[in-house]
Amino acid sequence: MKNRFTIFMVLFSGILFLSLRSHNGHKNSGQAPIGRTGAPSESTCAACHSGGSYSGEMSFSLGEKIQPEYEPGQTYTITFIGEYDAPRYGFSMTVLDESDLPAGAFTLLNSDNTSLQTGGSARQYVGHKNANTNNSWTFQWTAPEQAVGNITFYYVINAADGNNGTSGDYIETGSTVVFPAEEPVKYVLSLSSNPAGAGSLSGAGEYEESATVNVSAVANPGYLFVNWTDEDTILSEDPVFDYVMPASDKNLVANFIIDDTVDFFTLTFEVMDEENEPVLDAVITFGTIVNEPGDYVFELAAGFYDYKVEKEGFVTFTFQDYEVTQDETINVVLASDETGIDYFSAQHLRIFPNPASEVLKIELDDMATGIKILDMSGRIVFESQKDFKVLSLNVSSWQKGIYLIIAQTPNGQKTSKVLIGN
């Protein structure tokens, strides 16, 4: 991001800047000497150059902002101009923080007329190159990555008469202070639907005062959009509109009504753990509806929905594009996230390889009297009532995912998990 603000000033005169020529010629016309900007601990060349009577002013511009401020890490384009009607010009500039340490970094844009050097204490100096009638220089400065308080640009210009001597030169120095930009105040815009889960909303976030925010509402199947409201005030009857952020937090409500032409169905979840014990306080999200923990009943119109079942200590179960066409019960088995799936052996039940992609081998120390394998939606994908101690299954056609193995033995139920798929 490049910003720009301009400050014009006429500064104090009578301080010699730098030598565009040595006593015997124009030694420094090719490049400005370092350490002559008049910054703290720096001298000038007043003892060598003096006597000029040019009048005029310098201008220093940094970005496009009206206020002289900087944002950490941002790059700005600086333009420095000296207008004195002199036949030859030279300048030098450095930039320091409040501790007189280098602040940020200069970058040249035109190496034909601008030079860049590093002096003591790692101070950078940008200055003229091949001094001539040019009196305008443009280059870049990148602010420090972190705010370092006020930053001062120290600069000096030599409006020289071009006589290859040290007399007749007019020197002027100056400085510009820039301060860190204040963090803009932002306010929270939240969106909610009435009734809950009746639509999908977008546009919530944090915004500055007067920011224009595009908010939108899309009715879920079985609902029709009515309007947007702020408390009792109707803001718009269009589902999409531009909202101008005030200087306060706001919650906008998208109101919907039930579409009487659409049938609704009741979906009830039964959530179990790997031991076939009920999980009573899982959180289920169905479409955009998030029920309270333990609330497993949803009223939904026909359509396709994504849902997920979450419970601390268990792997989150997700399902995409579930089609609702009738009243039904959905069985979900939550797997513990503490055991992992790299290899699991419990109660003398062993499965390998894990993951498996072709053949799955199951071994028990006890004789099994039956086995069933369920996917994470609770659907039984394999079941047998035959006795076995070793069982091999071809799982190459099974869908990739986590499966629950439940084996019945005379000593009780043995369970494990396996990941199918590479």
* Predicted local confidence at residue 218, as pLDDT: 95
336-369 burial: b if 16+ Cβ within 10 Å, else e: eeeeeeeebeeeebbbeebebeeebebbbebebe
- Whether 85 shows a pLDDT value over 80: the answer reads yes
| Domain annotation covers residue 200 | yes
- Report how far apart, in Å, the C-alpha atoms of 29 and of each of 113, 132, 138, 156, 174 are: 11, 8, 18, 15, 21
* Predicted local confidence at residue 65, as pLDDT: 62
Which CATH number is 57's domain given? 2.60.40.4060
- Whether 21 shows a pLDDT value over 50: the answer reads no
Per-residue pLDDT tens digits for 337-377: 654 433 333 446 788 887 888 899 998 888 889 999 998 77
Give the C-alpha separation, 154 to 118, whole Å.
15
190 lies in the same domain as 166:
no
Per-residue pLDDT tens digits for 293-346: 999 999 999 888 889 999 988 888 878 788 899 999 988 888 776 544 333 334
Peptide bond preceding 195 in cis form (omega within 30 of 0): yes
- Whether 154 shows a pLDDT value over 90: the answer reads yes
- Whether 198 shows a pLDDT value over 50: the answer reads yes
Mean of pLDDT values over 134-160: 94
Q: Compute, in degrees rounded to 10, the torsion defined by CA atoms 198, 203, 204, 206.
A: -170
Q: Compute, in degrees rounded to 10, the torsion defined by CA atoms 156, 162, 168, 171.
A: 0
Give the C-alpha separation, 260 to 272, whole Å.
35
38 lies in the same domain as 140:
yes
110 lies in the same domain as 44:
yes
Residue 254: name the closest of 264, 265, 243, 266 by CA.
243
Question: Bigger pLDDT: 177 or 343?
Answer: 177
81 lies in the same domain as 145:
yes
Lowest model confidence (mean pLDDT) among 32-36, 64-68, 153-157: 64-68
89 close to 82: Cβ distance less than 8 angstroms: yes
The boundaries of the domain holding residue 369 are 345-420
Question: How high does pLDDT run on average in the chain?
Answer: 85
Residue 143: name the closest of 79, 200, 213, 95 by CA.
95
DSSP state of 176: E
Say whether 121 sits in a helix, a strand or coil. helix
Q: Which of 284, 311, 333 is the last residue of a domain?
A: 333
Give the C-alpha separation, 233 to 296, whole Å.
34
- Which residues, at least 6 apart from 140, have a Cβ–Cβ distance to it below 8 Å? 75, 76, 77, 78, 106, 107, 108, 109
112 lies in the same domain as 242:
no
* Predicted local confidence at residue 4, as pLDDT: 41
139 lies in the same domain as 192:
no
- Whether 19 shows a pLDDT value over 80: the answer reads no
In the chain, count H helices and then E strands. 0, 35
Q: Which of 180, 215, 242 is the last residue of a domain?
A: 180
Give the start-end residues of each E strand in 131-263.
Answer: 136-142, 151-160, 167-180, 186-194, 199-202, 205-208, 212-219, 223-230, 233-236, 240-244, 250-258
Residue 57: name the closest of 160, 134, 157, 153 by CA.
157
Q: What is the 3-state secondary structure (H, E, C) of 187-210?
A: EEEEEEEECCCCEEEECCEEEECC
Per-residue pLDDT tens digits for 129-146: 988 899 999 999 999 999
- Whether 75 shows a pLDDT value over 80: the answer reads yes
| Domain annotation covers residue 45 | yes
324 lies in the same domain as 359:
no
| Domain annotation covers residue 339 | no
Say whether 277 sits in a helix, a strand or coil. coil
86 lies in the same domain as 129:
yes
Structure tokens at 226: 């009515």
107 close to 164: Cβ distance less than 8 angstroms: no
* Predicted local confidence at residue 25, as pLDDT: 37
**Region of residue 48 (phi > 0: left; psi between -120 and 50: alpha; otherwise: beta):** alpha
Mean of pLDDT values over 39-63: 81
| Domain annotation covers residue 340 | no
Domains of the chain: total: 4
290 lies in the same domain as 230:
no
Which CATH number is 192's domain given? 2.60.40
178 close to 150: Cβ distance less than 8 angstroms: yes
Residue 52: name the closest of 175, 134, 162 by CA.
162
* Predicted local confidence at residue 27, as pLDDT: 57
- Whether 10 shows a pLDDT value over 70: the answer reads no
Q: How many CB atoms lie within 10 A of CB 172?
A: 27
* Predicted local confidence at residue 39, as pLDDT: 95
96 close to 42: Cβ distance less than 8 angstroms: no
135 lies in the same domain as 248:
no
| Domain annotation covers residue 338 | no
Structure tokens at 39: 């910054």
| Domain annotation covers residue 121 | yes
Mean of pLDDT values over 269-282: 88
209 lies in the same domain as 173:
no
pLDDT bracket for residue 255 (50, 70, 90)? very high
Q: Which of 225, 243, 258 is the last residue of a domain?
A: 258
% residues pLDDT > 90 (the chain)? 50
Which CATH number is 388's domain given? 2.60.40.3080
217-228 burial: b if 16+ Cβ within 10 Å, else e: bebbebbebbbb
Mean of pLDDT values over 242-271: 94
Per-residue pLDDT tens digits for 200-216: 999 999 999 999 999 99
* Predicted local confidence at residue 66, as pLDDT: 59
Q: Compute, in degrees rounded to 10, the torsion defined by CA atoms 48, 52, 56, 58.
A: -10
Per-residue pLDDT tens digits for 22-36: 333 345 678 888 999
219 lies in the same domain as 306:
no
* Predicted local confidence at residue 331, as pLDDT: 85
* Predicted local confidence at residue 406, as pLDDT: 87
| Domain annotation covers residue 407 | yes
Mean of pLDDT values over 229-257: 96
* Predicted local confidence at residue 419, as pLDDT: 84
Give the C-alpha separation, 348 to 87, whole Å.
97
| Domain annotation covers residue 213 | yes
